[in-house]
Structure 1
Amino acid sequence: MKNKFRNLNEKAKFHLDQLIQEIHHVAYNEGYEAGKLVGAIDSAEEINDKWLAERKVKSANQQRAELIEMAKKFVKDAKDKIWGGILVTMPNNEVKICNAEFIKKGNRTTCLLKGQHTNTVFAVGRANCVKGDVYNESIGEVISLFKALKKDIPVEFLEAVQPSEVVEGMIVEGIYRTTSYEVERFYNEPKLNGEYGRAFFAKGFVQNQWVGEKQVKVIDDTNAQYEVSTCKN
């Protein structure tokens, strides 16, 4: 497990170092003041430090929660901190400053990079959730953004750790029936927690109706209420 995290950390560092170098290169070529780089560089270095820091082994859910937060931060910083937009290099090496628009349809996320002043679409990237994987809006956004920019996608997003435990806010689907629903709360009644795992109430259920977590599979954790503060020893 430690070797796996070390490899991911090294790859994350490589991608972030490339991002920092590209920001410097474009800025100097375009004549922007160095002070305008501070926000973007600090953001990239914060993510870099996060992955390189010594970490205890965490549960799959905790690792998933960290990855989702990293994806959110990466997209937000790319949209908001690099001169108010995202830099797109055209085939003729002309640089366009674009806004990112994300379109979700089912398990597909499409990223449109549009010129800030023209609204012209200069680049498109699409991310499809692999069958059997859990869909997450933020991970879809960061993958589609990398594709639109024609950059190598960090393996930690392509091979995202999957959640191992059902939590509130997840969209789940019955194993035996393809009915999906959102987990609203777990029952605090030990007598219900039997062979089907912890019993939960879902949105749309009638009073006292419940399903066990072993009777469902997670299909979407975009709004999952993860707990990330406790580490496994």
Structure 2
Amino acid sequence: MRNWYSVYIGRMYIVIGENESEYITHVGNVLKEDAELVVTEKRPAKVGERVLITVAAPIGKQAYETGDIFVAESLYDPFTKDIRVLGMPDFIDYNEYEVIVNNEVKNEEADEMKIDLNAMEYDELIAHGEDVMRAIRLRAYGGGYRQGKFDAEMDTSHGQAPVVSAQARRDEIVEQAKADVERLKENNRRLRTFNISLEVNRKDRSVEAIAKRPKSNRAFYGIAKAAPDDCFNVHIGKAIALRRALGLSVPDEYLNAPQPTEVRVGDVVYGKYSEAYYQLWCEDEIGDVSYEVKIKEIADGKYRYVGGGYDFIADADLTIIDDSREEVGE
């Protein structure tokens, strides 16, 4: 007698119960002798592990469906837990997959019996050979990755690690924050989880993120505000606020990014005139001798400001208070 699932060999079904001889799935019963039970865990995949697509949401030209199985090639993002997989050009979102941690049939074969190749039929040998080659490829891939990581660590241990300046580290964090915000916004657009909006208040040196459920009045809010002595950066602020609105952890580097040390075009800086300068050029009594200006150009030994005015680089004592530089494409 032909079972209903005989034309669906290879498809995955969710087990919602079982009896002595059958698995009960969401679409019908399947004989245990005809099925292979796959157990998964909801956690980030490691390199070489198999993942099961549970909620397919491919992007771009990718083509995969719920029930497909892939091999994790790399952890695409440690914060969002997205991964890259063999055979796909772009990342797989963490919400789309679960890690396969147990394969009942294969585990039982390994634990309860020794393989007797001489006793196998020709078709069995072919099928078994394919499984062995697949396992060898996965083991070789994982081993090569670990060896490469080990070699890199050994190279570092034999010499002094390169020193990264505070400015260079801040630049890295800003770029990471930009990519983080775009990825989180794209994920929510694709999965239709939240409509994201970001509001910047430069006077208050703060960013507010709003994550609103589609077709609902329910919304979640996250706020990031620069401390009085910190340099404000809108990109880091957006990443912090958005992660708070979505209920995600905020990386420590966002909260403790080093302060900028290099004045660049587009920075907003705080300066202060000396009393002698003020008395020389101003007829009024000495009052507030501070100023806030945006750097328009750095040339000829001078910082030139938007709206006119300048300071000599050698003499200028400036504090960077906003290095977002959105208007200059950085």
TM-score by length of 1: 0.63
1:142/1:60 CA distance change after superposition, 3 Å: same
Aligned-partner residue type, residue 61 of structure 1: Q
1:47/1:79 CA distance change after superposition, 3 Å: closer
Q: Distance in 2 between matches of 1:114 and 1:205?
A: 43
* Partner in structure 1 of residue 284 of structure 2: none
* Partner in structure 1 of residue 211 of structure 2: 113
Q: Distance in 1 between matches of 2:266 and 2:293?
A: 10
Q: Distance in 1 between matches of 2:220 and 2:43?
A: 18
* Partner in structure 2 of residue 187 of structure 1: 299
Answer yes or no: is 1:72 the counterpart of 2:178: yes
Q: Distance in 1 between matches of 2:190 and 2:80?
A: 19
* Partner in structure 2 of residue 146 of structure 1: 243
Question: Out of 10, 22, 44, which is 2:77 matched to?
Answer: 44
**Aligned partner of residue 210 in structure 1, secondary structure:** strand
Q: Distance in 1 between matches of 2:224 and 2:231?
A: 13
Answer yes or no: is 1:158 the counterpart of 2:259: no
Does the 8 Å contact 2:194/2:211 carry over to 1?
Answer: yes
- After superposition, the C-alpha distances for 1:186-231 in whole angstroms (9 at most, x for unaligned) are 1224xxxxxxxxx31010115xx4354742211100007799xxxx
Q: Distance in 2 between matches of 1:76 and 1:102?
A: 12
* Partner in structure 1 of residue 229 of structure 2: 132
Q: Distance in 2 between matches of 1:98 and 1:174?
A: 42
Does the 8 Å contact 1:65/1:226 carry over to 2?
Answer: no
**Aligned partner of residue 186 in structure 1, secondary structure:** strand
Answer yes or no: is 1:217 the counterpart of 2:319: yes
Q: Distance in 2 between matches of 1:169 and 1:109?
A: 19
* Partner in structure 1 of residue 126 of structure 2: none
**Aligned partner of residue 104 in structure 1, secondary structure:** strand
1:20/1:171 CA distance change after superposition, 3 Å: farther
* Partner in structure 2 of residue 14 of structure 1: none
- After superposition, the C-alpha distances for 1:68-114 in whole angstroms (9 at most, x for unaligned) are 0100001101111355257xxxxxxxxxx102111111311111001
Aligned-partner residue type, residue 215 of structure 1: D
Q: Distance in 2 between matches of 1:151 and 1:19?
A: 15
Q: Distance in 2 between matches of 1:126 and 1:46?
A: 19
Aligned-partner residue type, residue 214 of structure 2: Q
CA RMSD across the alignment: 3.8
State which drifts further: 61-70 or 146-155: 146-155
Does the 8 Å contact 1:175/1:217 carry over to 2?
Answer: no
Aligned-partner residue type, residue 176 of structure 2: M
Does the 8 Å contact 2:57/2:191 carry over to 1?
Answer: no
Aligned-partner residue type, residue 73 of structure 1: A
Please report how far the alpha carbon of residue 116 of structure 1 lies from its aligned counterpart in structure 2 after TM superposition.
Answer: 3.1
Please report how far the alpha carbon of residue 122 of structure 1 lies from its aligned counterpart in structure 2 after TM superposition.
Answer: 2.0
Please report how far the alpha carbon of residue 59 of structure 1 lies from its aligned counterpart in structure 2 after TM superposition.
Answer: 1.9
1:33/1:164 CA distance change after superposition, 3 Å: closer
1:162/1:205 CA distance change after superposition, 3 Å: same
* Partner in structure 2 of residue 6 of structure 1: none
Please report how far the alpha carbon of residue 162 of structure 1 lies from its aligned counterpart in structure 2 after TM superposition.
Answer: 1.0
Q: Name stretches of at least 5 consecutive residues in structure 1 with no aligned partner.
A: 1-17, 87-96, 190-198, 228-233
Q: Distance in 2 between matches of 1:43 and 1:19?
A: 14
Q: Distance in 2 between matches of 1:138 and 1:172?
A: 18
Q: Distance in 1 between matches of 2:181 and 2:187?
A: 10
Q: Name stretches of at least 5 consecutive residues in structure 2 with no aligned partner.
A: 1-41, 46-50, 59-63, 84-148, 274-288
Please report how far the alpha carbon of residue 173 of structure 1 lies from its aligned counterpart in structure 2 after TM superposition.
Answer: 1.3
Q: Distance in 2 between matches of 1:69 and 1:75?
A: 10
Answer yes or no: is 1:32 the counterpart of 2:62: no
- Normalized per residue, which structure has more helix? 1
1:223/1:33 CA distance change after superposition, 3 Å: closer
TM-score by length of 2: 0.46
1:139/1:46 CA distance change after superposition, 3 Å: closer
**Aligned partner of residue 209 in structure 2, secondary structure:** strand
Q: Distance in 2 between matches of 1:64 and 1:116?
A: 35
Does the 8 Å contact 1:112/1:124 carry over to 2?
Answer: yes
Aligned-partner residue type, residue 185 of structure 1: E
Q: Distance in 1 between matches of 2:57 and 2:233?
A: 37
